[in-house]
Structure 1
Amino acid sequence: MGESEIEIRLLESADEMAAVGTMFQQVWGSVTPLVETELLCAIAHSGGYVIGAFDAANIVGASFGFLGRHDGQEALHSHVTGILPGVQHTGVGRAIKEHQRAWAAERGIGWITWTFDPLVRRNAWFNIEVLHADVAEYLENFYGSMGDAINGDDDSDRLLIAWPTDPSAERRPAPAGTTTIEIATPDDIVRLRRTDPAAAADWRRRVRTELGEALESGGVVTGFTRDGSYQVAVPA
């Protein structure tokens, strides 16, 4: 399946919103819905963002977000984006992000923000090296206990990402007088949570301390390496 075969469109009906909720449960392996149909209906009707990605009549991805603020400007906060495992790594995620950017830009919205688990390498690579988005903040145990098949019983630490809707905007530069450090991540944190929860917890504490403190002290994430390390410019 190629990206060109996928149709991404805004959703309106309750049936479409229910399909999004069901798909999210499949992606996260959750018994309870990640989002209720009525909330998605309210977000869409009040000017928020709710889309589905379709392969013919089948929904294979979805995303929703609401309006917020970043750096003093209006932002679209993309709260949840999910793609079925069978179509991951086919360009659908990039297509959804580009759709978000176009939707926000048409409405004069300057930023798109979202969160991701700093231990998940593929997401770090996508956000930092593919989209060239900024890491704005380290959020410790941001959502509390989540308990789904992906997050398990791990703390829900997140990085807040900020992506300008102006494609010509450059990533926030490292300030002068800094040195670059590298902060490693586990090879596959989702598998490690299942096979060795103690090791997964050790990784969480290590990255929370190293990356969280680096950002708190004024450090700037400047890259993410192929072998899974954050490159951070920190005050010398």
Structure 2
Amino acid sequence: MSGLGDLRLRELHTIEEFEDVWRLFGGIWRPDPGGEPVTVEMMRALSHAGNYVAGAFRHDRLVGASVGFVAAPPRRALHSHVTGTLAGQRVGFALKLHQREWALDRGLETITWTYDPLVRRNAHFNLAKLGARPEEYLPAFYGTMGDAINAGDESDRVLAVWPLTSPHVLAAVRGEPSPVEIPPDAATGLDDDGGRPVRGHTDAETVLVAVPADIETLRVTDPAAARAWRLALREVLGDLLREGARVTGFHDKSCYVVRRGARDEGRGGDGRALS
């Protein structure tokens, strides 16, 4: 068992523990019946087969959990399927460090996961705090999701890749995130104008792609604006990634920094995460 102050992290193995995770995730996502992110039976099978099912405990209370599986090609990557934490517990970073240690102990090089690219706090956490990089835009990856967080929105995701021993990841793990450089000739491909997306141009080496301040609230208060953001980001960020551009960071907790011809930090130099 590894610890961080009063926080304890460990793998889970029993039905009772998996039931606790199922209830935790249910309270976070509040899914429609049958729409749970993972079942007790699936966690049991994954754990028994040697995959990653872990929980974070504070004073013996489960405050976060993560479920993942080894991905193809074998012995190269762990795919983190779902991670959830209670609000205000500040355990997401500790869970990712535990996951990283687990993967390295098994000779894995990379951890991958998907996340909604419209959610600012997740983008900042994944890119700025962890040093992960989005590599692929996946439209409607899970279909329409009936839960309180996604609110029926199309489930566009990006695949985040975290190369576990890359220099910029090692710096992030030490709490030394790399600064994001914004050249003066950077173009604004997508901007936020009073909560609405405004498309600019992408004909520059560096392109800034903004996301809304709070897409989850916007889905409830202004579904049309949320839908406009989904389509605009799909077109702008999705097209840039398909054309071979690379996300190099998340600037000012508000926008992706995308560069054409950027060096692949994960492969050239040496991978809640919240789903």
1:94-105 superposed matches below 5 A: 94-105=93-104
For residues 18 and 83 of structure 2, the distance between their equivalents in structure 1, rounded to whole angstroms, comes to 14
Residue type matched to 1:108 in 2? G
Q: For the Cα contact (< 8 Å) 2:77–2:112, is it kept in 1?
A: yes
Q: Which has the higher contact order (CA 8 A, sep 6+)?
A: 2
Residues 127-159 of structure 1: CA distance to partner in whole angstroms, max 9, x if unpaired? Answer: 111111121110000000111000011100001
1:211-226 superposed matches below 5 A: 211-226=237-252
Q: For the Cα contact (< 8 Å) 1:102–1:165, is it kept in 2?
A: no
1:140-155 superposed matches below 5 A: 140-155=139-154
Q: Does 1:64 align with 2:63?
A: no
1:33-182 superposed matches below 5 A: 33-69=36-72, 74-87=76-89, 90=90, 92-166=91-165, 168=167, 179-182=205-208
- Aligned to 1:198, which of 202, 216, 224? 224
Give the alignment's TM-score, normalised by structure 2: 0.78
Q: How far 1:164 moved relative to its partner?
A: 1.5
Q: For the Cα contact (< 8 Å) 2:209–2:237, is it kept in 1?
A: yes
Name the structure 1 match of 2:21.
20
Q: For the Cα contact (< 8 Å) 1:25–1:31, is it kept in 2?
A: no
Residue type matched to 1:102 in 2? E
Q: For the Cα contact (< 8 Å) 1:105–1:166, is it kept in 2?
A: no
Residue type matched to 2:98 in 1? H
Unmatched runs of 5 consecutive residues or more in structure 1: 172-177
Q: For the Cα contact (< 8 Å) 1:10–1:49, is it kept in 2?
A: yes
Q: For the Cα contact (< 8 Å) 2:116–2:157, is it kept in 1?
A: yes
Q: For the Cα contact (< 8 Å) 1:73–1:111, is it kept in 2?
A: no
Query: Structure 1: which 4+ aligned runs deviate by more than 6 Å?
Result: none
How many aligned residue pairs are there?
225
Q: How far 1:36 moved relative to its partner?
A: 1.4
Q: How far 1:235 moved relative to its partner?
A: 5.6
For residues 108 and 37 of structure 1, the distance between their equivalents in structure 2, rounded to whole angstroms, comes to 27
Q: How far 1:38 moved relative to its partner?
A: 1.1
Name the structure 1 match of 2:31.
30
For residues 60 and 44 of structure 1, the distance between their equivalents in structure 2, rounded to whole angstroms, comes to 19
Unmatched runs of 5 consecutive residues or more in structure 2: 171-203, 263-275
Q: For the Cα contact (< 8 Å) 2:131–2:168, is it kept in 1?
A: no
Q: For the Cα contact (< 8 Å) 2:162–2:169, is it kept in 1?
A: no
